[in-house]
Homo-oligomer: A and B are copies of this chain.
Amino acid sequence: MSTVSKTNQKQLQAGIDEFAVNAYETYLPALSVDTVIFGFHNNTLKVLLLRLVDTPYFVLPGGYIQKKEDLDDAALRILQERTGLTNIYLEQFYTSGKTSRYKEDLFQETLKKSGVQFPANNWFEQRFVSVCYYALIDYTLVDPQTDPFFPEFKWVDVSKVPKLIFDHKMIIEKGLERLRADLDQKLVGFRLMNETFTMADLQKLYEAIFDKKLVRTNFQRKVLSLNVLERLEKQYNGKAHKAPYLYKFIKHKH
Protein backbone atom coordinates (compact mmCIF):
# COMPACT_ATOMS: atom_id res chain seq x y z
CA MET A 1 0.00 0.00 0.00
CA SER A 2 1.59 3.23 -1.11
CA THR A 3 1.33 6.40 0.93
CA VAL A 4 -0.59 9.28 -0.54
CA SER A 5 1.74 11.88 -1.97
CA LYS A 6 1.57 15.43 -0.58
CA THR A 7 -0.14 16.77 -3.71
CA ASN A 8 -2.62 13.97 -3.73
CA GLN A 9 -3.41 14.48 -0.08
CA LYS A 10 -4.03 18.19 -0.65
CA GLN A 11 -6.38 17.34 -3.50
CA LEU A 12 -8.19 14.77 -1.37
CA GLN A 13 -8.47 17.16 1.56
CA ALA A 14 -9.92 19.83 -0.71
CA GLY A 15 -12.38 17.29 -2.09
CA ILE A 16 -13.45 16.17 1.38
CA ASP A 17 -13.82 19.77 2.62
CA GLU A 18 -15.93 20.78 -0.35
CA PHE A 19 -18.10 17.71 -0.12
CA ALA A 20 -18.65 17.94 3.63
CA VAL A 21 -19.92 21.52 3.20
CA ASN A 22 -22.13 21.00 0.17
CA ALA A 23 -23.42 17.46 0.38
CA TYR A 24 -26.13 18.12 2.98
CA GLU A 25 -27.44 20.96 0.81
CA THR A 26 -27.39 18.95 -2.39
CA TYR A 27 -28.34 15.37 -1.57
CA LEU A 28 -30.97 13.43 0.36
CA PRO A 29 -29.41 12.47 3.69
CA ALA A 30 -28.86 8.86 4.79
CA LEU A 31 -29.35 7.44 1.29
CA SER A 32 -26.88 6.23 -1.30
CA VAL A 33 -26.96 4.37 -4.58
CA ASP A 34 -24.62 1.51 -5.45
CA THR A 35 -24.31 -0.02 -8.89
CA VAL A 36 -23.24 -3.48 -10.00
CA ILE A 37 -22.10 -2.97 -13.58
CA PHE A 38 -22.00 -6.27 -15.47
CA GLY A 39 -20.11 -6.68 -18.72
CA PHE A 40 -19.44 -9.77 -20.83
CA HIS A 41 -15.99 -10.39 -22.27
CA ASN A 42 -14.00 -13.44 -23.35
CA ASN A 43 -16.87 -15.67 -22.33
CA THR A 44 -16.80 -14.46 -18.74
CA LEU A 45 -19.15 -12.21 -16.82
CA LYS A 46 -17.29 -9.26 -15.32
CA VAL A 47 -18.14 -6.57 -12.80
CA LEU A 48 -16.66 -3.06 -12.65
CA LEU A 49 -14.84 -2.08 -9.44
CA LEU A 50 -13.04 1.07 -8.32
CA ARG A 51 -10.00 1.12 -6.07
CA LEU A 52 -10.10 3.45 -3.07
CA VAL A 53 -7.10 5.77 -3.04
CA ASP A 54 -4.13 4.63 -0.96
CA THR A 55 -5.64 1.20 -0.24
CA PRO A 56 -5.69 -2.17 -1.96
CA TYR A 57 -9.47 -2.24 -1.46
CA PHE A 58 -12.07 -2.01 -4.16
CA VAL A 59 -15.61 -0.73 -4.03
CA LEU A 60 -18.70 -0.58 -6.25
CA PRO A 61 -19.33 2.63 -8.18
CA GLY A 62 -21.90 4.66 -6.28
CA GLY A 63 -23.18 8.07 -5.33
CA TYR A 64 -26.01 10.07 -3.82
CA ILE A 65 -29.48 11.25 -4.76
CA GLN A 66 -30.03 14.95 -5.42
CA LYS A 67 -32.88 16.50 -3.45
CA LYS A 68 -35.07 17.06 -6.50
CA GLU A 69 -33.95 14.08 -8.51
CA ASP A 70 -35.89 10.85 -9.02
CA LEU A 71 -34.18 7.81 -7.55
CA ASP A 72 -33.84 6.04 -10.92
CA ASP A 73 -32.47 9.22 -12.50
CA ALA A 74 -29.83 9.42 -9.79
CA ALA A 75 -28.72 5.87 -10.60
CA LEU A 76 -28.57 6.72 -14.32
CA ARG A 77 -26.59 9.90 -13.66
CA ILE A 78 -24.09 8.05 -11.46
CA LEU A 79 -23.60 5.39 -14.10
CA GLN A 80 -23.24 7.94 -16.85
CA GLU A 81 -20.65 9.91 -14.89
CA ARG A 82 -18.74 6.71 -14.26
CA THR A 83 -18.99 4.98 -17.64
CA GLY A 84 -19.75 7.73 -20.15
CA LEU A 85 -22.72 5.70 -21.43
CA THR A 86 -26.14 7.31 -21.75
CA ASN A 87 -28.34 4.44 -22.92
CA ILE A 88 -27.89 2.00 -20.06
CA TYR A 89 -30.10 -0.89 -19.01
CA LEU A 90 -30.62 -0.48 -15.29
CA GLU A 91 -32.56 -2.61 -12.87
CA GLN A 92 -33.12 -1.81 -9.21
CA PHE A 93 -32.75 -5.05 -7.29
CA TYR A 94 -32.19 -4.50 -3.58
CA THR A 95 -31.93 -1.93 -0.81
CA SER A 96 -29.25 -2.64 1.75
CA GLY A 97 -29.97 -1.35 5.25
CA LYS A 98 -28.25 -3.39 7.93
CA THR A 99 -26.56 -1.25 10.59
CA SER A 100 -23.60 -3.64 10.50
CA ARG A 101 -22.70 -2.76 6.93
CA TYR A 102 -20.36 -0.12 8.36
CA LYS A 103 -18.66 -2.31 10.92
CA GLU A 104 -15.40 -1.98 9.08
CA ASP A 105 -15.42 1.55 7.79
CA LEU A 106 -12.32 1.19 5.65
CA PHE A 107 -13.28 4.28 3.73
CA GLN A 108 -12.90 6.77 6.56
CA GLU A 109 -10.25 4.81 8.45
CA THR A 110 -7.91 4.51 5.53
CA LEU A 111 -8.23 8.12 4.56
CA LYS A 112 -7.61 9.18 8.16
CA LYS A 113 -4.43 7.09 8.20
CA SER A 114 -3.35 8.98 5.12
CA GLY A 115 -3.64 12.20 7.10
CA VAL A 116 -6.90 13.42 5.61
CA GLN A 117 -8.95 15.37 8.17
CA PHE A 118 -12.69 14.85 8.35
CA PRO A 119 -14.72 17.80 9.66
CA ALA A 120 -17.08 17.15 12.58
CA ASN A 121 -20.51 15.80 11.64
CA ASN A 122 -19.27 15.10 8.14
CA TRP A 123 -21.40 13.59 5.41
CA PHE A 124 -19.58 10.26 5.40
CA GLU A 125 -20.26 9.68 9.10
CA GLN A 126 -23.93 9.13 8.42
CA ARG A 127 -25.49 5.71 8.35
CA PHE A 128 -26.44 5.16 4.72
CA VAL A 129 -29.16 2.90 3.43
CA SER A 130 -28.14 2.03 -0.11
CA VAL A 131 -30.43 1.40 -3.06
CA CYS A 132 -28.72 -1.05 -5.41
CA TYR A 133 -29.03 -1.30 -9.17
CA TYR A 134 -27.47 -3.61 -11.66
CA ALA A 135 -26.53 -2.45 -15.13
CA LEU A 136 -25.79 -4.47 -18.25
CA ILE A 137 -23.42 -2.81 -20.63
CA ASP A 138 -21.52 -3.49 -23.78
CA TYR A 139 -18.05 -4.06 -22.46
CA THR A 140 -16.40 -2.65 -25.55
CA LEU A 141 -18.07 0.77 -25.32
CA VAL A 142 -17.05 1.70 -21.81
CA ASP A 143 -14.37 4.11 -20.78
CA PRO A 144 -14.59 4.04 -16.96
CA GLN A 145 -13.79 7.32 -15.27
CA THR A 146 -11.53 7.62 -12.25
CA ASP A 147 -11.09 10.52 -9.82
CA PRO A 148 -8.82 11.44 -6.88
CA PHE A 149 -10.79 9.19 -4.48
CA PHE A 150 -10.92 6.29 -6.89
CA PRO A 151 -7.79 6.50 -9.03
CA GLU A 152 -8.11 3.03 -10.61
CA PHE A 153 -10.82 0.84 -12.08
CA LYS A 154 -10.82 -2.86 -12.77
CA TRP A 155 -13.11 -5.38 -14.47
CA VAL A 156 -13.18 -8.49 -12.29
CA ASP A 157 -14.64 -11.95 -13.00
CA VAL A 158 -17.80 -12.34 -10.92
CA SER A 159 -16.39 -15.61 -9.60
CA LYS A 160 -13.18 -13.89 -8.44
CA VAL A 161 -14.40 -10.79 -6.62
CA PRO A 162 -11.86 -9.77 -3.93
CA LYS A 163 -12.66 -8.44 -0.43
CA LEU A 164 -14.59 -5.22 -0.91
CA ILE A 165 -15.38 -2.22 1.26
CA PHE A 166 -18.70 -2.18 3.21
CA ASP A 167 -21.13 -4.95 2.21
CA HIS A 168 -20.41 -4.58 -1.49
CA LYS A 169 -19.49 -8.21 -2.02
CA MET A 170 -22.88 -9.33 -0.73
CA ILE A 171 -24.48 -6.72 -2.99
CA ILE A 172 -22.76 -8.23 -6.05
CA GLU A 173 -24.02 -11.70 -5.04
CA LYS A 174 -27.57 -10.40 -4.69
CA GLY A 175 -27.27 -8.63 -8.04
CA LEU A 176 -26.09 -11.78 -9.77
CA GLU A 177 -28.95 -13.75 -8.22
CA ARG A 178 -31.40 -11.23 -9.59
CA LEU A 179 -29.76 -11.10 -13.02
CA ARG A 180 -30.22 -14.88 -13.25
CA ALA A 181 -33.88 -14.61 -12.30
CA ASP A 182 -34.43 -11.77 -14.78
CA LEU A 183 -32.58 -13.44 -17.63
CA ASP A 184 -35.51 -15.51 -18.78
CA GLN A 185 -38.38 -13.47 -17.43
CA LYS A 186 -37.29 -10.12 -18.76
CA LEU A 187 -34.89 -11.32 -21.45
CA VAL A 188 -32.31 -8.84 -20.34
CA GLY A 189 -29.38 -10.87 -21.62
CA PHE A 190 -29.25 -9.33 -25.06
CA ARG A 191 -27.90 -6.13 -23.53
CA LEU A 192 -24.62 -7.96 -23.05
CA MET A 193 -24.41 -9.19 -26.68
CA ASN A 194 -23.58 -7.76 -30.03
CA GLU A 195 -26.60 -7.07 -32.20
CA THR A 196 -26.32 -10.39 -34.02
CA PHE A 197 -24.95 -13.59 -32.61
CA THR A 198 -24.90 -17.33 -33.10
CA MET A 199 -26.69 -19.80 -30.85
CA ALA A 200 -23.26 -20.81 -29.55
CA ASP A 201 -22.49 -17.19 -28.56
CA LEU A 202 -25.76 -16.96 -26.66
CA GLN A 203 -25.13 -20.25 -24.89
CA LYS A 204 -21.74 -18.97 -23.75
CA LEU A 205 -23.39 -15.91 -22.22
CA TYR A 206 -25.91 -18.04 -20.33
CA GLU A 207 -23.15 -20.38 -19.18
CA ALA A 208 -21.13 -17.45 -17.88
CA ILE A 209 -24.05 -15.96 -15.98
CA PHE A 210 -25.21 -19.26 -14.47
CA ASP A 211 -21.65 -20.44 -13.99
CA LYS A 212 -22.34 -23.91 -15.37
CA LYS A 213 -22.24 -25.87 -18.62
CA LEU A 214 -25.54 -26.28 -20.43
CA VAL A 215 -26.59 -29.04 -22.82
CA ARG A 216 -26.70 -27.58 -26.32
CA THR A 217 -29.92 -29.23 -27.48
CA ASN A 218 -31.85 -28.38 -24.29
CA PHE A 219 -30.57 -24.83 -24.33
CA GLN A 220 -31.60 -24.32 -27.98
CA ARG A 221 -35.04 -25.77 -27.41
CA LYS A 222 -35.62 -23.59 -24.36
CA VAL A 223 -34.36 -20.36 -25.91
CA LEU A 224 -36.24 -20.87 -29.17
CA SER A 225 -39.45 -21.62 -27.27
CA LEU A 226 -39.35 -18.10 -25.79
CA ASN A 227 -40.12 -16.70 -29.26
CA VAL A 228 -37.82 -13.76 -28.83
CA LEU A 229 -35.20 -14.56 -31.43
CA GLU A 230 -35.29 -13.71 -35.07
CA ARG A 231 -33.23 -15.98 -37.31
CA LEU A 232 -31.40 -14.09 -40.02
CA GLU A 233 -30.49 -15.30 -43.50
CA LYS A 234 -27.16 -17.05 -43.74
CA GLN A 235 -24.72 -14.94 -45.65
CA TYR A 236 -23.11 -16.68 -48.59
CA ASN A 237 -19.43 -17.06 -47.88
CA GLY A 238 -18.41 -20.02 -50.00
CA LYS A 239 -18.91 -22.40 -47.11
CA ALA A 240 -22.49 -21.45 -46.41
CA HIS A 241 -23.57 -24.96 -45.54
CA LYS A 242 -21.16 -24.93 -42.62
CA ALA A 243 -21.81 -21.40 -41.34
CA PRO A 244 -24.04 -21.21 -38.27
CA TYR A 245 -27.21 -19.15 -38.41
CA LEU A 246 -27.08 -15.68 -36.97
CA TYR A 247 -29.86 -14.49 -34.66
CA LYS A 248 -30.97 -11.23 -33.21
CA PHE A 249 -33.42 -10.38 -30.48
CA ILE A 250 -36.88 -9.22 -31.49
CA LYS A 251 -37.27 -5.74 -30.06
CA HIS A 252 -39.50 -5.42 -27.05
CA LYS A 253 -40.03 -2.77 -24.42
CA HIS A 254 -37.00 -3.66 -22.29
Q: Residues of A with Cβ closer than 8 Å to B? A: 28-31, 65, 67-72, 74, 92, 94-100, 127, 129, 131, 181, 185
Contact = CB atoms under 8 A, between A and B. Distances in A.
A126 to B, nearest CB: 9
A65 B97 contact: yes
Contacts of A185: 181
A16 to B, nearest CB: 22
25 contacts: A28-B127, A28-B129, A29-B29, A29-B30, A30-B30, A30-B31, A31-B31, A31-B129, A68-B99, A69-B99, A70-B97, A70-B98, A70-B99, A71-B96, A71-B97, A71-B129, A72-B97, A74-B97, A92-B94, A95-B95, A95-B131, A97-B131, A129-B131, A181-B181, A181-B185
Contacts of A92: 94-95
Contacts of A96: 71
A24 to B, nearest CB: 11
A127 to B, nearest CB: 7
A29 B67 CA distance: 13
Given A31-B30, A127-B28, A129-B131, A71 B98 contact: yes
Nearest to A96: B71
Contacts of A68: 99
B95 A65 contact: no
Most chain B beta-carbon contacts within 10 A, residue among A98, A129, A131: A129
A33 to B, nearest CB: 9
A63 to B, nearest CB: 14
Most chain B beta-carbon contacts within 10 A, residue among A28, A29, A185: A28
Given A29-B30, A71-B97, 20 more contacts: A28-B30, A28-B129, A30-B30, A30-B31, A31-B31, A31-B129, A65-B97, A68-B99, A70-B97, A70-B98, A70-B100, A71-B95, A72-B97, A72-B98, A74-B97, A92-B94, A92-B95, A95-B131, A129-B131, A181-B185
A98 B69 CA distance: 8
Nearest to A101: B70
List the 5 shortest-distance A-B pairs measured between CB atoms, nearest first. A71-B97, A95-B95, A28-B30, A70-B98, A95-B131
A225 to B, nearest CB: 15
A30 B185 CA distance: 33
A30 B28 CA distance: 7
A66 to B, nearest CB: 10
